[in-house]
Each structure stands twice: as C-alpha cells, then as structure tokens.
Structure 1
Amino acid sequence: MRTPNASRAALTLAALFLATLSLAALPAGVQARSSDRGKPMLINADDADHALDESQPTVLSGNVVITQGTLDIRSARADVTTRNNEPTRVVLTGSPARLKQEMDDGSPFSANASRIVYDLTSDTVTLTGNVTVNQRGNTMNGPRVVYNMKTGRVQASGTGTGSGNGRVSMRIEPKNPTPADESGND
C-alpha cells in the first residue's frame, strides 16, 4: 500500500527521469512517452522505511523498481527527503541506478549512474559514477554529469568523483548517415 508521501516520492522519481531526458540533447519535438503519465505508477522494493513526521528521508531499499507505462527505474536504494509534504531531494543509488523509457517516436532512452541526485530546491540532477546517457545512438559518458533544469545547461566533468582523472566522451550520430560503400573504398 502506498502512502501519500510514497506517491509523492514516486512522482518525484518520474520528474527526475524526465529531467534526465534533457541530458541526451534530444531533437526538438521528441519527448518521453506522453501516455505514460496517465498510467498507474507501481513501486516495489524489498524494504521501505518512512518517518511520518518528515524527520528522516523515506528509504526504499533492495531491488527498488518503479514503473509507469514504458518508464522503468531500477536502483538498489531510493532516499526521498520531503519538507511540508513536498519532495525536496531524491537520491538513487545502485550498481548502477538505471532509468529507461520509450519516447513518443518509439525510440528508447536510457541513463545509468552509480548515484543520481535530484535536488528539487536547486532544480538540478547530478549523475555520478560511470555515467552513461543513451538516446537514438547518441551517447554521453563520464564520471559526473550535472543538468540544471532552470537554465537547461549540462555540465560534464572528468574529475570530481574522487576516483581519479576521467574523461567525458560523447558520440553523436549523423541525422542522415552516408550509405556504406559496397566496394570497401572510402
């Protein structure tokens, strides 16, 4: 049974996913499956710990699975902090935490990271630890990616995770790929 705060937590996780979609530099008009929002959200975990007075975060742990239509979120743990019955911060952790959803045009989108933090007070999503974002064959990889939902800016960093130096890499597929030369000549 879901409590009102657990339902808010789930909606916050869905908002986190939608914010993460922007990391993939989607073409104009491509959005998450719009029909998913009208479908029931199912939340499952091995354990849930919820403080009625908001003194501590709600913690979902052990095989956390959140689904809503084509939206699929999986993590080892989800910590949801609320103030005045509104979520203020969501932290997903896993090996990795995974988000995926089908876009309205039918293409898949996915994002993986060891830790995903959605701070609703600053409107930022921070993905750290082996970050991978995929959409339409385009990818972004690195140790740390921060998306500011207010400004629409994405900052990717090869450092700052405590795991030494890393690099940010992106692969952008052409809109109209050139057919392969059947003779093998370039």
Structure 2
Amino acid sequence: MYKPAIRQRFNRFTQQSLLMGFICCGLVGQAWALSDDVEKPVNIESDTAEFNQEKGTADYVGNVIATQGSLEILASRLNIQAPDGELKTIIAQGKPANFKQQMDDGKLANGKANKMTYSVQEKKIVMTGQAELKLAKDVISSDHIEYFVENGELRAGNKSTRKKGKRVKAIFHPTNKADKPKTPATP
C-alpha cells in the first residue's frame, strides 16, 4: 500500500503532468485556445488506468475520453511519461486519436492521427499516420505533421512520406469581405 506522503506526491505529479499535457495537447497552442480552458479541471475516463510511480508513468487504455474546458481528446490509449516527476512526453494513440477545441475567436480546431506525441522539452507535437488538422474550414493533411507550440511553426510531410509517395494536402479558404458584417456609416 502507498504511504500517504507518496500517494500525495504522485497525485500532485499526475495532476501537474495532466494539466500541462492538456494545455499542450490542444495541438494549436495556448494563444489560440479559449483563454479560460487552462483553469478548468482535467477529466479522464478510460476502461483501465495504470500508474507507475517508480517510472513516472500514467497509462490510460480503452475508450479514453480526456477533457479540459473546451478541449476534448478521444483515444484508444493515452500515455504520460514523467520520470523523476518532470513531464517529458504525452502520447495519444488510436485509429485515429482525435481532439477538438474551441478557439477564442469562436472557431473550432480539430485534428486526428493514429499517433500524437507531445515532447515537452522540444515543445513539439508530432502527428503520424493519416494526420489531419482543421481550423474552421481550413485543412492540412499528411502522414506526418509537426507543430511547434512556442512559435506556431507547422511542417507537414518528411523524407519517409516522400519515399512512400504520400503528399501533403492543404485547403485554405480566403477571407471574404462579404462574410464580414458591415459597420454602419457614421453621420
């Protein structure tokens, strides 16, 4: 049985790592997500969950539903790696794993991939296997997408996808002035 101090430390590690993970797993960066999402509680449901304090891992398996504010992640497996209490990696897997999140501007961002890996040190999200990102009507898809949280840089495709003959596909819709509400003229 865990001693209360150890259980408390592990619970603190789990809460901190999950909170940080969901902030970053939004895949679109904190700056675009709803401002108050980060203050919302993290909720995770799964068929099973395993925590290994010695290794610093949390593994949720089977019909995983993870939410924080407007962020929702659906996956077959969600793995959090935080050796020595320091968050290193978060991995969501599925066929595909999905996320969606409401942005401050009202648009919905969503994405899917067979595997989504967030590396804390690099502040980078790598989506592999039929990856797709959508923001409103704009879409980018590739077998490999990298998103750098800190600077908003996105890269799609790599040497591996080129060798397989897979291409990057992007659809961007221009902003139409007719779609914007007109401001009444001032007399």
TM category, shorter: 0.7 to 0.9
3-state SS of 2:36 partner: helix
5 Å-filtered alignment, 1:140-155, equals 140-155=140-155
Q: Which shows bigger deviation, 161-170 or 34-43?
A: 161-170
The aligned counterpart of 1:27 is: none
The aligned counterpart of 1:33 is: 34
Inter-CA distance 163–14: structure 2 relative to 1 (3 Å threshold): farther
3-state SS of 1:10 partner: helix
Q: CA deviation at 1:158?
A: 5.8
Q: CA deviation at 1:32?
A: 0.9
Structure 1, residues 3-48: CA drift from partner, whole Å, max 9, x if none? 2232133213312334x215xxxxxxx7211122222211111111
The aligned counterpart of 1:175 is: 175
Give aligned pairs, total.
169
Q: Where does structure 1 lack aligned partners over 5 or more consecutive residues?
A: 23-29, 180-186
The aligned counterpart of 1:93 is: 93
Contact 1:42–1:67, Cα closer than 8 Å, also in 2: yes
Q: Where does structure 2 lack aligned partners over 5 or more consecutive residues?
A: 1-9, 180-187
Residue of structure 2 aligned with 1:3, choices 4, 11, 34? 11
The share of aligned pairs that are identical, in percent, is 24
More helix by share: 2
- RMSD over aligned CA atoms reads 2.4
Inter-CA distance 7–162: structure 2 relative to 1 (3 Å threshold): farther
Runs of 4+ in 1 over 4 A off after TM superposition: none
The aligned counterpart of 1:73 is: 73
- State the structure with more CA Rg: 2
Residue of structure 2 aligned with 1:21, choices 28, 31, 35? 28
Contact 1:145–1:156, Cα closer than 8 Å, also in 2: yes
Q: TM-score scaled by structure 1?
A: 0.81
Inter-CA distance 16–34: structure 2 relative to 1 (3 Å threshold): same
